[in-house]
Each structure stands twice: as structure tokens, then as C-alpha cells.
Structure 1
Amino acid sequence: MLSTLRPPYGHATPLFLSLLRRAGAVARLMMCSLLVLMLATLAGKFSEAQAAGSSAGKHRSAATGAKGRKRTVRKKASADKPARTARSRRALRRPAAAAAVAGTAATAATAATATPASAPASGKPELLARCGFTEASRRHIFSRGVYVLDEQTGTPLFERNADTVAPIASVTKLMTAIVWLDQKQLAMGNRLEVTEDDLDTLKFTHSRLGVGASLSRADMLHIALMSSENRAAAALSRDYPGGRPAFIAAMNARAQALGMSHTHFENATGLSPENVSTPRELAALVQAANRYQLIRNDSLDKQKMINIGRGQLQYINSNRLIRYGQVNASVQKTGFINESGHNMVLRMLVHDRRPVIVTMLGSGSADGSRLDGVRIAKWLNCSLN
């Protein structure tokens, strides 16, 4: 009896269950679609945010690289306007500032071109304080009379008692050489013998050239200039056409021709204190002597072996500045007697090319005269081009 019972709704229950199942599948499908849509939306927003952040980072990097600092992004137009105005004002000021700087640089360049370190505004050379040419340094010059002349421009660079007449001692031998070479009548290779007439009877100085020593005239001139050999100079003046009086007259005539109005010679050796001149006038003598190749060579030679007929003698340069290569010169001469003190004249070659005449009279010692030459050479090498 139970097996024959039927449900009250017949076939309605399976149909309802089928519809319910279909509705659940549709709902699930819609939910999945909604979920996928939401995920896609979120993914898109995330990608946009990431792209925007990357772009902003690139802009910040470019700004930092160009200016060396980070810039603040202005968000409001009202805040950006004053900034643009300030930048405009700065931009307007920059050309004027650049022009002013350029003008200053041009002025400085023009001044540097017009006024080099070795010359004042007048264009004449001068000794510079930064090169040691100071009042204190000048007080350390030992020579009583000094004259320094830039031969290139004719500009006196330093003077001390330049017009004071004083004995010049063996500086005389430059004039002796000039007068001897000017006569051009006696062969330089012929030998000349030292005689009693060549001995010093004024100062009674000693010489290694004994009476009877025989030298070529060229060697006589060489050791008279290089080593200030008195008997050699005396022998040359005696051997002159007309004798020694004619030679002395020719020396004084040549001094007058050179404009040396305060210069006078009594003998060819310089042993007489009556052989006088001034530092300024000796500059003219140095310039004249420099025109003779033989005087230049002989006065600058450091040493020479001389054949005196009965043996040989070694001679050295009496100027230690030349002997030890402390200065570069084209002609030089030293001199000493008690009345004159130690004297030196030079035609220095500054930087091996620029001639400057230096005459120094009356140092109390040979070292003082040498140190004066070194000090003046330093002034010149630093101050002149």
C-alpha cells in the first residue's frame, strides 16, 4: 500500500529542481563575470598609477640632472605666475651681468697686453721690487759707484754716483786693447819681448813675466785682458808706432771721441790713480770694446797656456763671475789699486740675448764686487724679458 503512494504534485518536483539548478549555474556565471570585471578594472588602475609614477620619476631625474638639484612642482597657477616673473627678471639681468664681466675681462686683457711685467706704463724697462730691487737690497750693494744701462732701449735701470769721477785701475786695459787694435800696422803673430821699460816703477807690482820673456803680440793682448797682466799691457804701449807717449795720446783722443769728457789716462796699465772715469762714461767704453771680436774672446776666456819663449805659463781669468760661469756676458774687465778699490765692468746678456751694461767702481773687496754682480744679474733676469 505504501508502494502505491505518489507525491502530491506529480511531475512538478523534478521540474522545479531542474530550474533551481539552472538558476544557480547562471548566478555562479554572473558572479564569476563580475569578479573578472572587477579584477580587470583594478589591474588597469594599477597599471595607470605605475605608469604615472614612472613618468614623474623621469621628469624629476631630468630636472635634477640639468640643474643639479630637485625642483618643486607648483600645482597652482597663481603660485606659478610670480615664479615666472622672477625668472624673467633674472633672465634680463643675466645678459647685463655677462656683458659687465666680459667688459672687465677685456679691460684686464688690454691692460695686461699694454703693460707687461717687465715694463711700466711708459713702455720703458725697469727693475722690479718683486724681483728684489728694494731699498733694503740696494743698501747691500758694496760698490760706491754703479751704473746699469739697458742697451736695447738706452734706459738707465740703476744709478749710484754714476757721474762721480774715480780711479778705474785695470779697467783701463779695455781702452789699451781698442787703441792697439785700431793701429793695424803690426802683425799680431810677431813676438814681443818684455824689457826693463815695462817694469812697474809706480806701484812696484810683481809679474810672472820676467825681463826677456818673449810672447806673440796676440798672447800679450790675451793675458792683458783675461788676467790683467800689467807688463803685457806696458809692452804693447811701448811697441806702438811713436812709442808710449803716442799710445797714451791716442787713448785720450779715443775717449774724447766716445764722449767720455771726464775720462783721462796716464798709462796703459791702469796702475796710475790718474786714470779716471765715471760709471756712466765707462758704459760707453764697454760698448766700444764689445765691437771687437778679439776683445770679446780674450776677455771671456777662462784660462790659457802661454808660451813665453823659455817655457810656458798658465793664466786664468781674473773675474770669478766669468771663471765660474756665474753670469753670461759678451765682454768684461776687472781692476784694482788701493786708490780705486775693486772695480768691474760687464756687458751682461740677460736671458742669453738682451745686452745690459753694468759698471761698478769702488767696492771694498773683490768678494763685494763679485756679489754686486750676482745681485744685479738676479734683478735683471727677473725684471726683463
Structure 2
Amino acid sequence: MKFKFRSVLLLSALLSVGVAPQVQASGAKKPVQQASKKSEAPASKKVQAARKPVLKSAAASNRSKTVAANAPSIKTKTAKSGKSMQLAQTQAKQPVRRVSLTDIDPSRLALYSSSALVIDQSTGQSVLAKHPDTVTPIASISKLMTAMVVLDANLNLQDVIAIGDEDVDGLKGTRSRLPVGTTMTRETAMLLALMSSENRAAHALGRHYPGGLPAFVAAMNKKAQALGMYNTRFEEPTGLSSNNVSTAHDLARMVTVAARYPEIRHFSTTAEAKVELNGRVQNFGTTNPLVRSDNWEIGLSKTGYISEAGRCLVMQARVADKPVVIVLLDSQGKMTRVGDANRIKRWMESASLGSERKRV
């Protein structure tokens, strides 16, 4: 019994010894696990704390990359602007080529008139010439001579004249707004002849001249000879005949003299007028669109056209602060004579500007 009791005590002692370590071991594990958990928490916070700077640095690096990427373009622009400034300075240092009226010939001006002439009235010198001595039909430019002959005769401009059957165009069959039987003063007929190039009005002026049409045509040719227009011939007062011929040189003489007549200057540069004919008011306008332009200062103007003559234009004007006579003959195309006149004007203004800079 004692042996058994001792065996039980020994067995329980052994069991108590074996369990205690396990309990201690299990109790030891908890602090370890807690310690590990505690150690893990700060570790994760450290990781997160470490990650945040990484994100920030990535954003910062992105911004840096963006700035770095933008930096070359800014430098490039700066470099370009620097080059532009250097180029501008280089161009500014280069001498400017001065243009004078004698530097450019008509072919370089691309004039579409077969014959052209520009005379500087202040000096009497030709500043542009293209076949100025070619004899060619002049169409309604003839009406300037018609007006001069009427005015030279000192006829009463308020006398009433009538459009007759003889005044109807039998050469070209052109139309007119003046029916046979229309009456008007000689002054009105001259206005319509010069402003609107009315052929019946011009013909009636010649027919109502003392001695009739033959005397009038003789007076036209006599006047031409007196002005030194030796290559000019008139056959009738309207210009419908292709036998009315002249040269650019001769017409420049005629324009210069015609510009001395106040009536011719006024009537040929009238843009539009209301005229009472046969009890009805009608509107008439100029045949030269440049008369209406604010860019032109025109003292005298006359256009002309028949198929044999082409489009013609003569003017006395002020261009580049100079009084000039412009003659354009046989221009093909409806607006080419106007285009030629504008090209001449721009050329003269550019040349004048260049000479002014040179003087400064």
C-alpha cells in the first residue's frame, strides 16, 4: 500500500513537473505573440510611413520630369527669340536698296496696256514710257478735243441743242440713253460727253458748231497741229471711228492743255449727275471708277473703247505728291487699264518713299 501510495505521489509529481513547463511555455508564447504583434504594428506603420514619402517623391519626380521636359522648350523658344532678335538686328544693319523712278522699266511693272506714258508735269520729263510713239486708234479720248474746240469757239453753253437722226451711231451701232428729239443745253451735252462718254451728245456738239460737222472736224485737226500733236488725226468728234488716231506722247500734250479748262476738269471728274431730259430726271455716272476712289486725286479723266483701240484711259492726277499725266492705250480686258493705273500709282509712291528715306 505504501508502495502504491508512493508511486501515485511520484507520478503526480512527475505530471506536475511536465505540465508546468507547458503552461509556462504557453504563457511565454503569448508575450512573444503580443510582442510580435506589437513589433509588426510599428513595422507596418514604418512601411506606410516609408511608402508615403515614396509617393511624394514620385509626384515630385513627376513634377521634376515635367519641369525638365518643359525646360528644353522654354530654352528653345528663348533661343529662337534670340535668333530672331539677332536676325532682326542683322537685317536692320543691312543697307536698304533705294528705288528711283528710273530703276524700274514698264515690263517689270507688268503693264497690260500696249502703250503707256507717265509725264511729271513739274519737270516735263517722262518717268515711264512703253511704246509712247505708236500710232493707234484712241476711241472716246477724242472727246477731250471735242470739248476744247467747243470752248475755244466761245459758244454759249446755255444754248439748247437737239439730238437728231444724224447723231445716231451708224458705225458701231452703239446704244444711247438720249433718244432722237431729246433737247438739252450745250453745257449738259458736254457734261454727258465727258462724264458718261455719250456719243450722241458729242456728235451733237460738233454738228451744232458754226459751219457744221466738217468745220468742226477741221478745227479739231487744226488744234492738234497747234499743240504739236503731229501724229494725230481726227475724222469725227466721238471717237467711234478707228481713223481717230494718235500716240501716247501726243495725247499727253492734249491732256496737259485740256486740264487748263475749268469746265473740262469739272465735267470729266464728276462722279454722277441727275439730268432732266424730256421732263424726266435721269441719273448718269462716270465711266472711270477711279474718279470715285478716295485713293486718287484726279484733275481730269477720260476713258475710251472701241474694238480697234482696246480700253484706253488718260488722266491728269496727283500721285506721290507730283502732278502727272497718265496715258494708257490699247489695254485688253475691261479692268486692265484701271489695274495699270493703280500699279503705276503704287510704283511711284514706293519710289517716292524710298527717295525720301534716302534724303533723311
Same fold? TM cut 0.5: yes
- Aligned residues of 2:106 and 2:128 also touching (Cα < 8 A): no
Q: Secondary structure at the match of 1:366?
A: coil
Q: Secondary structure at the match of 1:356?
A: strand
Indicate yes or no: 2:129 matched with 1:154: no
**What residue ranges of structure 2 are gaps of 5+ in the alignment?**
1-97
Q: Which residue of 1 aligns with 2:171?
A: 202
Tell me, in whole angstroms, the C-alpha distance in 1 between the residues paired with 2:253 and 2:241: 21
1:144 to 93, 111, 114: 114
Taking structure 1 as reference, are residues 143 and 136 closer, same or farther at Cα in structure 2, changes over 3 Å only? Answer: closer
Q: Cα distance, 1:366 vs. partner?
A: 2.3
1:369 to 333, 337, 340: 337
Runs of 4+ in 1 over 4 A off after TM superposition: none
Q: Cα distance, 1:136 vs. partner?
A: 6.2
Taking structure 1 as reference, are residues 191 and 136 closer, same or farther at Cα in structure 2, changes over 3 Å only? Answer: closer
Tell me, in whole angstroms, the C-alpha distance in 2 between the residues paired with 1:286 and 1:325: 22
- Aligned residues of 2:132 and 2:249 also touching (Cα < 8 A): yes
Tell me, in whole angstroms, the C-alpha distance in 1 between the residues paired with 2:305 and 2:295: 20
- Aligned residues of 1:319 and 1:334 also touching (Cα < 8 A): yes
User: Sequence identity of aligned pairs in percent?
Assistant: 40
Q: Which residue of 2 aligns with 1:331?
A: 300
Q: Cα distance, 1:348 vs. partner?
A: 1.6
Q: Secondary structure at the match of 2:101?
A: coil
Query: Normalization by structure 1: what TM-score?
Result: 0.64
2:236 to 267, 292, 298: 267
Indicate yes or no: 2:190 matched with 1:221: yes
Tell me, in whole angstroms, the C-alpha distance in 1 between the residues paired with 2:122 and 2:108: 25
Match of 1:320, as an amino acid?
Answer: P
Match runs of 1:228-307 below 5 Å: 228-307=197-276
Match of 1:137, as an amino acid?
Answer: R
Q: Which residue of 1 aligns with 2:149?
A: 179
Match of 1:232, as an amino acid?
Answer: A
Q: Which residue of 2 aligns with 1:127?
A: 101
- Aligned residues of 1:173 and 1:225 also touching (Cα < 8 A): yes
RMSD value, Cα: 1.6
- Aligned residues of 1:128 and 1:383 also touching (Cα < 8 A): no
Tell me, in whole angstroms, the C-alpha distance in 2 between the residues paired with 1:291 and 1:214: 28
Q: Which residue of 2 aligns with 1:356?
A: 324
Q: Which residue of 1 aligns with 2:140?
A: 170
Indicate yes or no: 2:355 matched with 1:381: no
Match runs of 1:31-46 below 5 Å: none
Q: Which residue of 1 aligns with 2:87?
A: none
Q: Which residue of 2 aligns with 1:191?
A: 160
Match of 1:165, as an amino acid?
Answer: V
Q: Cα distance, 1:135 vs. partner?
A: 6.8
Tell me, in whole angstroms, the C-alpha distance in 2 between the residues paired with 1:241 and 1:339: 31
Tell me, in whole angstroms, the C-alpha distance in 1 between the residues paired with 2:107 and 2:212: 50
**What residue ranges of structure 1 are gaps of 5+ in the alignment?**
1-116, 119-125
Q: Cα distance, 1:242 vs. partner?
A: 0.5
Q: Cα distance, 1:252 vs. partner?
A: 0.2
Indicate yes or no: 2:277 matched with 1:308: yes
Q: Secondary structure at the match of 2:113?
A: coil
- Aligned residues of 1:168 and 1:343 also touching (Cα < 8 A): yes
Tell me, in whole angstroms, the C-alpha distance in 2 between the residues paired with 1:311 and 1:273: 34
Q: Secondary structure at the match of 2:140?
A: helix
Q: Cα distance, 1:327 vs. partner?
A: 1.9
Q: Cα distance, 1:134 vs. partner?
A: 6.0
Match of 1:347, as an amino acid?
Answer: Q
Tell me, in whole angstroms, the C-alpha distance in 2 between the residues paired with 1:347 and 1:154: 13
Taking structure 1 as reference, are residues 335 and 182 closer, same or farther at Cα in structure 2, changes over 3 Å only? Answer: same
Describe the superposition over 1:284-326 as per-residue Cα deviations: whole angstroms up to 9, x where unpaired: 0000100100000000010001111231221000001112344
Q: Secondary structure at the match of 1:262?
A: coil
- Aligned residues of 2:220 and 2:234 also touching (Cα < 8 A): yes
